[in-house]
Structure 1
Amino acid sequence: MLNTILNGLLPVAFVIILGWLSGRIGLLKHDDAGVLATLVIRFALPFALFEGAVKTSPDKLHNVGFALCLTLGLMGTYVLALIVGRFVFRHDLRTATMQALVCAFPDMAYFGAPILASVFGPEGFLAVLVGNLITSIFMLPLTIVLTNLGGTDQPGSDRPDILRIFGQSVARAVINPIVWLPISGMVLSFAHVTLPEPVLTSVDLIAKAAGGTSLFALGLMLYGERFMINSNVLTNLAIKNFLQPAIMALGAVLFGVVGAPAHQAVITGAVPTATAAAMFALKTKTYTADATATILISTILGVITEGLLIAYFF
């Protein structure tokens, strides 16, 4: 059990610290993380998900209960956090939407994928694959729509624009490599197509860069972020690091997900807040301080909660 925990978490913590140190001693700048992020999101991770889908048997991909469990965990947390932000903290719609994104969007690309791959092998990418489709097609377009609604003075007057924005955001998600490449891998798996070994070796070469590069970029992104505690941040941590995995566990029970898929879902729920949430906050100039503080503390806390879950399951 100890070896499982160390194999899953020690490399993660080690590479994150290396990224943080590279910023601390001036070898790299905070803005350089953007280049690494582009490599991961546009190339390495899409091909890693493609490879995981191709190498996963169709019966494991055709798991509707697993997809419903992840949908409940991700979107259920989003709706709950939106309600908390709107009616408990009395935020306006745009700010409440940013809080919902911070609480519900797990860092599957940078933090989750390396841990799941280390603990579950190539099948560990299944949770990242399905979760990424849910966030890309549902959560992020909904966030864009709600932030635009929150920025209008007269609700209803811009509805045609909102519908257009929603359609454009979904279209951009569908043509994004991180969406269509994994779907292509799933299609090949369902069609029982076996790719030639040189092709798989070529894909594997870039796919291997996803884990280390993403964690290094995460550490570099976290350098210089403010450590801040307030009621918003504490609530966000409670929802993201503890309530979301609990909702995933509930979904596993409701939809009959057992064994490794159930463990993957819960571990995915415990993954800390995605750095992309801070990017959205910066873009909309809303909730930025609370978002970055939540990401910083959630990442530190995530190492502990993930270790406890791995210890419990294994």
Structure 2
Amino acid sequence: MLNRILGPILPVAFVIILGFVAGKRGKLNHSDSLLISRLVLNWIFPALLLVGMASTPRSQLLDFRFVVATFIGIMGMYVLAFAIGWYRYRELKAATLKGFVNGYPDAAFMGIPILQAMFGPGSLYSVLVLNLVASLVMIPLTTMLLAIASGEGSGAKAFVSSISTAVRRPLMWAPAIGILCSLLAIKLPPVVADSFNLLGKATPGVSLFCLGLIMSSVKLKLSGEVWMNMGLKLVLHPALMVAAALILSVKGVYAQQMILLCALPSATIPAMFANEAGAYRSEATTSILISTVLSVVTFSFAIYLIDGGLAAA
């Protein structure tokens, strides 16, 4: 049991620390982290998703209950955190960014290496479903609300524009090609599959190193708001996903994977949105950093509960 809990986490923590040290010692800087992030999100991660989805059995793609449960778990946390933020601040930007921070787990940077270590390559399906919900619903909704808060034209126009932008991203059309290949039983030529697989294999290590590099430039500012976010993200979010899985009778390995994904810390993308919006910046960046550190403990406990039968098939 101890090996199953620590086995996937310790290598992840080690690579994050390497990136953090590289940033603190000035070997790499913030501009380098932005370049590496673009490399991960626009090239190597999409390549991994394309080849992974192309090899996914069609029956898995048609599991609509799992997709709906994921939507409830992800967007339910977003809406709940947004409502709390609105009650506290009565300000649309802060409430929106609070929802974004707590509703968007770090599936891309931390989820892939951890789930692959625990469940194998098939776990990419869970990461893809979460990414689809975030890219097609959460990110456009956040963009629209921030546009409304800034008085930048029509909120509906911002929503349509953000969806159009999301669809053009490799993170969207690359797995879509893989899904189409799976549904139509089309096998990628070996040379193509091997090439994308070779590129995609760099995702876990490079993304974790980049996460540590990003963390090295964040200034800590602890507050009651940050600790509230810790409770929402690391405790309530996986519990909400458990409830969604139980309500829709989603069981087995995919329920386990999605619960673990929701137990991950906040993704780094909300901090970029907060910086651009000029609101909730300190709270967002500090919440992401602290949740990443605390997740070593909370995520280990989540693995323990999963193995103990909380989400057993």
Regarding TM over 0.5, the answer is yes
Q: Does 1:232 align with 2:225?
A: yes
Deviation at 1:222, TM superposition (A): 0.1
Question: Which amino acid letter does the alignment assign opposite residue 290 of structure 1?
Answer: E
Q: Distance in 1 between matches of 2:62 and 2:74?
A: 19
1:98-147 deviation line (CA, Å, top 9, x unaligned): 11111111111111111112111111111110111111110011111111
Which amino acid in structure 1 is aligned with residue 192 of structure 2?
Answer: V
Q: Mind listing any 5+ residue stretches in structure 1 that lack a counterpart?
A: none
Measure how far apart 1:73 and its partner are. Answer: 0.9
Q: Is structure 2 residue 138 aligned with structure 1 residue 139?
A: yes
Match for 1:177: what amino acid? P
TM superposition shift of 1:7 = 2.9
Maintained 8 Å contact 1:19/1:219: yes
Q: Cα distance 1:250–1:276, how it changes in 2: closer, same or farther (>3 A)?
A: same
C-alpha deviation, 1:293, in angstroms = 0.5
Which whole-Å CA distance do the structure 1 matches of 2:189 and 2:151 have between them? 53
C-alpha displacement of 1:196 = 2.2
Q: CA RMSD in A?
A: 1.3
In the alignment, the residues of structure 2 paired with residue 250 and residue 111 of structure 1 have an alpha-carbon distance, to the nearest angstrom, of 23
**Change over 3 Å in CA distance of 1:31–1:231 after alignment to 2:** same
TM-score using structure 2 length: 0.95
Q: CA deviation at 1:190?
A: 1.3
Extract structure 1 runs of 4+ deviating beyond 4 A: none
1:121 alignment partner AA: G
Instruction: Indicate the residue corresponding to 2:266 in structure 1.
Output: 273
Amino acid at match of 1:279: M
2:301 counterpart of 1:308: yes
Q: How many residues matched?
A: 307
d(CA) in 1 for partners of 2:170, 2:278:
27
For residues 137-176 of structure 1, the aligned pairs below 5 Å read 137-152=136-151, 158=153, 161-176=154-169
Q: Distance in 2 between matches of 1:208 and 1:189?
A: 20
Give the letter for the 2:145 counterpart: L
What residue ranges of structure 2 are gaps of 5+ in the alignment?
Answer: 308-313
Q: Which residue does 2:110 correspond to in 1?
A: 111
Give the Cα separation in 2 of the matches to 1:86 and 1:80: 10
Separation in structure 2 between the aligned mates of residue 170 and residue 8 of structure 1, nearest angstrom: 34
Q: SS at the partner of 1:179? A: helix
Q: Deviations over 1:137-191 (max 9, x none)?
A: 10011111111212239xxxx4xx2222111100111111101111111111111
In the alignment, which residue of structure 2 is the partner of 1:72? 72
Once residues 11 and 53 of structure 2 are traced to their aligned partners in structure 1, the CA distance between those partners, rounded to angstroms, is 24
- Secondary structure at 1:65's aligned position in 2? helix
Is contact 1:55-1:122 (8 Å) kept? no
Structure 1 residue matching 2:120: 3-state secondary structure:
helix
Map of 1:212-231 to 2, 5 A cutoff? 212-231=205-224
Looking at structure 2, the residues matched to 182 and 303 of structure 1 have their Cα atoms a distance apart, in angstroms, of: 29
Report the TM-score when normalising by structure 1.
Answer: 0.95
Aligned to 1:128: 127
SS at match of 1:83: helix
